[in-house]
Amino acid sequence: MFKNFWYAIAFSEEITEAPSKHRLLAQDLVLWRASNGQVRALSNTCIHRGGSLSQGKVEDDNITCPYHGWGFGGDGACTIIPANGRGKPISKRARVDSYPVEERYGWIWVFPGDIPEEERVPIPDLSFMDDPEYRSVSGEWTWNANYERVVENGTDQSHTPFVHGGVFGDPKAPPVEEFEIEVGEWWARLTVEQFSPNKPAGKLTQLFPKSRAYKEDEPTPPVLVKTAFFFPSIVMIDLTIPKLGRQVIWDTNIPVDEHTTLTKWKGYRNFYKTPWADRIAKKMIVKVFAQDDRVVNEIAPELIPTELNGELHLRSDQMSLEFRKIKQKAVDLGYSVLGTSEGTQSTKTIIASPYRREEGLENSWILPATPEGSTSL
């Protein structure tokens, strides 16, 4: 798992003035919306006696620990220690890590890391998600699997006829058609034409069983499929369906810990935009998740092998290879973190926030920083 990347960890509407707990990279965060509308993200562990801040209350834009009432501002610095009485100086060491937050595309993005802004990989441009021409549905899916296996699955073309036969792809025609791959610094995108079985009449029947765009004997034209990942955790599946329109699914695959992934997805379509079709669109997307879940949850080893040759790769696995190559860049930058940031039963580590680099705050941290993880893929 990797620190020092932006992660979309919640839908905008989930974050209110009431604190909520969110687990990311095996660490709990507390999020709340301040009175100016900005979202705050702090380490959830109070540095006094380890109270869970998300159980506390937000008062005057400070989060108050439920245990002894210490208050922490949005920057993580303690502002009040009730047992000391008002007006007493507060130690600089009374602070918790506070992480950068952005709100974009209907998601709350948190940056669990400490590198300066100019070194951060920017949030990908997903402005498509703000396009009013599309109607959207959204939902969640929890996997008992490592997020990298989930992300790879999202861009894996050759599994579709087998895992999703009838919805995507034809099990009787499994070869992957000629495809194109574009690779960016932190992303890759595949474009391919996907044939579906003629009977039933391709995706349309699956999406909207009561309507038929094709006659029984008319061959179903291919669907233009684009799949992409934006390292580490965003996946896009973009389908242009002849005679119907376009459906694009975006998902953020949140590494809750090494063994658990929480996917928050949004599905967009530019056809059948009336609310009655939402239920059908959602049902189809959930069905696809359920089909993948059965397979992905049982993959062994659970984590991607540390060596490229730990698995056999074919031409049709090129997206997985691109993912692994990009992942190696993150490893080389020293961004990997141990999957068990909880430490031992009597110690706890915290992913360092940018405040740890501020002058004068070097020695202000009660809880040690989470150590770097493995040094190779």
| Residue ranges binding ligand FES (CB under 6 A) | 46, 48-49, 51, 65, 67-68, 70
Rounded to a whole number of angstroms, the minimum distance from the CB of residue 348 to ligand FES is 13
Rounded distance between C-alpha atoms, residue 200 and residue 282, angstroms: 20
Which SS3 state, helix, strand or coil, does residue 219 take?
Answer: coil
* DSSP one-letter string for 304-362: PPSSGGGS---GGGHHHHHHHHHHHHHHHTT-BB-S-TT-STT---BPPPGGGGSTT-T
Is 98 or 261 the residue whose CB approaches ligand FES more closely? 98
Of 341, 351, 348, which Cα lies nearest the Cα of 43? Answer: 351
Rounded to a whole number of angstroms, the minimum distance from the CB of residue 43 to ligand FES is 12
Rounded to a whole number of angstroms, the minimum distance from the CB of residue 322 to Fe ion is 17
Rounded to a whole number of angstroms, the minimum distance from the CB of residue 291 to Fe ion is 6
Residue whose beta carbon is closest to Fe ion: 292
Binding partner at 51 among Fe ion, ligand FES, none, C-beta below 5 to 8 Å by kind: ligand FES
Report which DSSP code applies to 332: H
Is 70 or 111 the residue whose CB approaches ligand FES more closely? 70
* Other Cβ atoms within 10 Å of 238 Cβ, number: 18
- Identify which range of 88-96, 199-207, 291-299, 350-358 contacts Fe ion by CB under 5 A: 291-299
Our CA angle for 366, 367, 371, nearest 5°, is 140
Rounded distance between C-alpha atoms, residue 95 and residue 91, angstroms: 9
Rounded distance between C-alpha atoms, residue 274 and residue 278, angstroms: 7
Binding partner at 68 among Fe ion, ligand FES, none, C-beta below 5 to 8 Å by kind: ligand FES
Which residues are paired to 136 by β-bridges? 268
Is 49 or 273 the residue whose CB approaches ligand FES more closely? 49
Is 56 or 154 the residue whose CB approaches ligand FES more closely? 56
Which residues are paired to 93 by β-bridges? none
Is 63 or 352 the residue whose CB approaches ligand FES more closely? 63
Is 97 or 292 the residue whose CB approaches Fe ion more closely? 292
For 134, phi then psi, to 5°, come to -110, 145
Which SS3 state, helix, strand or coil, does residue 204 take?
Answer: helix
Rounded to a whole number of angstroms, the minimum distance from the CB of residue 293 to Fe ion is 9
Binding partner at 292 among ligand FES, Fe ion, none, C-beta below 5 to 8 Å by kind: Fe ion
Binding partner at 74 among ligand FES, Fe ion, none, C-beta below 5 to 8 Å by kind: none
Binding partner at 65 among ligand FES, Fe ion, none, C-beta below 5 to 8 Å by kind: ligand FES
Our CA angle for 303, 306, 309, nearest 5°, is 110
Rounded distance between C-alpha atoms, residue 34 and residue 125, angstroms: 26
251 near Fe ion (CB under 5 A): no
Is 48 or 57 the residue whose CB approaches ligand FES more closely? 48
The answer to whether 153 and 296 have CB atoms below 8 angstroms apart is yes
Rounded to a whole number of angstroms, the minimum distance from the CB of residue 47 to ligand FES is 8
Binding partner at 70 among Fe ion, ligand FES, none, C-beta below 5 to 8 Å by kind: ligand FES
Rounded distance between C-alpha atoms, residue 339 and residue 296, angstroms: 19
Which residues are paired to 95 by β-bridges? 77
List the one residue from 114, 152, 251, 292 that touches Fe ion (CB under 5 A): 292
- In the sheet that 135-143 helps form, which strands lie side by side, from edge to edge? 135-143, 260-269, 245-257, 234-241, 223-230, 187-194, 180-183
Rounded to a whole number of angstroms, the minimum distance from the CB of residue 84 to ligand FES is 11
- Identify which range of 196-204, 213-221, 237-245, 287-295 contacts Fe ion by CB under 5 A: 287-295
* Other Cβ atoms within 10 Å of 199 Cβ, number: 12
Our CA angle for 44, 47, 48, nearest 5°, is 125
Binding partner at 330 among Fe ion, ligand FES, none, C-beta below 5 to 8 Å by kind: none
The answer to whether 56 and 64 have CB atoms below 8 angstroms apart is yes
Rounded to a whole number of angstroms, the minimum distance from the CB of residue 219 to Fe ion is 24
Is 65 or 223 the residue whose CB approaches ligand FES more closely? 65
Rounded to a whole number of angstroms, the minimum distance from the CB of residue 319 to Fe ion is 12
Binding site for Fe ion (CB under 5 A): 292
